[in-house]
Structure 1
Amino acid sequence: MDLKQIHELIKIINKSNIGEISIEDKDGKVTIKQKEEQVVTVAAPAHHQVITTAPAPQPAANPAPAAPAAPAAPAKTDNLITIKSPMIGTFYRRSSPDKPVLADVGTEITPGKVVCIIEAMKLFNEIESEISGTIVKVLVDDASPVEYDQPLFLVEPA
């Protein structure tokens, strides 16, 4: 079972009321459980890895009226585009420790430019930009774990 299939299973579990699902094939066994915190366990013949994801949002029975929040600082975030993580893994800003940062605040990016690396299951995946613009904020610290669809960068489109 590959990483894309596991991501699809996680999406299905998050959208359903299924508490647990286990799938086993020649490559290993995948068990996905949804409780207070959703835990995904991936067991393959060579290794065992546990990935914790954010709990699925639960609809509120009686939502309380939202209190108006005081703006911290006026910022032009209306037109910013978010680059999100396409997978669960570890976020790296450099292709190796001795290389320069791939993308930083002020970096001009174009479609196809590598903006970061995400390590997932011992594979280093180059994450490429799909847009043109300038990075205005890096939202994740280097060598931090990231979740599927987690915002990584804010980009002002060109």
Structure 2
Amino acid sequence: MSTKDIQQLIDFISQSGLDEVNIETTDLKISVKRYGQGAPAAPAAPVAPVAAAPAVQAPVASAPAAVATPAVAAPKADTSNYITIKSPMIGTFYRSANPESPMFVEVGDSVTEGKVVCIIEAMKLFNEIESEVSGRIVKILVENATPVEYDQPLFLVEPN
């Protein structure tokens, strides 16, 4: 992992509002934790060159306070018969391919297995997230263009 890759990772973490990220490759192991402004950052534990550690520590220490992920609460009605589509990765959630395009799905839309329901951007890569179930979108649980965590609920689907 080059210094440029590490810097891109730090920039992504600071923009996403994530509090902790762990990455391990054959040459390097990085653990980055953010506690807010003024608090010390967790040092990276390099397996490769030690010079990579200062590049990680300095920008993380000046990172802004973590931003809470805005998520709309689940409906108070009985949701036991709904299936949740969850985020398979951390990144930024988008409901459409670009601002001019229509949303992939809206509340009330029918979805089938394999239909794209959103995009999650992670490290400048845009990943299409497909529905794993056929049914009707009941609730969208995340606001457009907000950070999401791994396994975070994105949609509630009433199965067919």
State if a TM-score over 0.5 links the two structures. Answer: yes
2:34 and 2:119 map into 1 onto residues whose CA distance is: 30
The verdict on how the C-alpha distance between 1:126 and 1:76 changes in structure 2, with shifts beyond 3 A counting, is same
Give the secondary-structure state (helix, strand or coil) at the position aligned to 1:118: strand
Match of 2:132 among 130, 133, 158: 130
* Structure 2: unaligned runs, 5 residues or longer: 2-20, 45-51, 61-65, 69-74
2:34 and 2:124 map into 1 onto residues whose CA distance is: 27
1:88 and 1:21 map into 2 onto residues whose CA distance is: 12
For residue 91 of structure 1, what is the amino acid of its counterpart?
A: F
After superposition, the C-alpha distances for 1:4-33 in whole angstroms (9 at most, x for unaligned) are xxxxxxxxxxxxxxxx9774557xx44125
Q: Corresponding residue for 1:32?
A: 31
More strand by share: 1
For residue 32 of structure 1, what is the amino acid of its counterpart?
A: S
The verdict on how the C-alpha distance between 1:24 and 1:130 changes in structure 2, with shifts beyond 3 A counting, is closer
2:100 and 2:91 map into 1 onto residues whose CA distance is: 21
* Aligned sequence identity (%): 58
Give the secondary-structure state (helix, strand or coil) at the position aligned to 2:142: coil
Matched, 1:154 2:153: no
Aligned residues: 114
Q: Corresponding residue for 1:100?
A: 102
1:131 and 1:113 map into 2 onto residues whose CA distance is: 9
After superposition, the C-alpha distances for 1:98-118 in whole angstroms (9 at most, x for unaligned) are 000001100100001000000
Give 1:1-158 correspondences, 5 Å limit.
23=24, 25=26, 29-32=28-31, 75-158=77-160
The verdict on how the C-alpha distance between 1:25 and 1:140 changes in structure 2, with shifts beyond 3 A counting, is same
The verdict on how the C-alpha distance between 1:142 and 1:76 changes in structure 2, with shifts beyond 3 A counting, is same
TM-score, structure 1 length as denominator? 0.59
TM-score, structure 2 length as denominator? 0.58
Give the secondary-structure state (helix, strand or coil) at the position aligned to 1:105: coil
2:22 and 2:142 map into 1 onto residues whose CA distance is: 31
More helix by share: 2
What is the root-mean-square deviation of aligned Cα atoms in Å?
Answer: 3.7
Q: Which has the higher contact order (CA 8 A, sep 6+)?
A: 2
After superposition, the C-alpha distances for 1:31-69 in whole angstroms (9 at most, x for unaligned) are 125797998x8xx9xxx897x7x9xxxxxxxxxxxxxxx
2:94 and 2:119 map into 1 onto residues whose CA distance is: 5
The verdict on how the C-alpha distance between 1:22 and 1:117 changes in structure 2, with shifts beyond 3 A counting, is closer
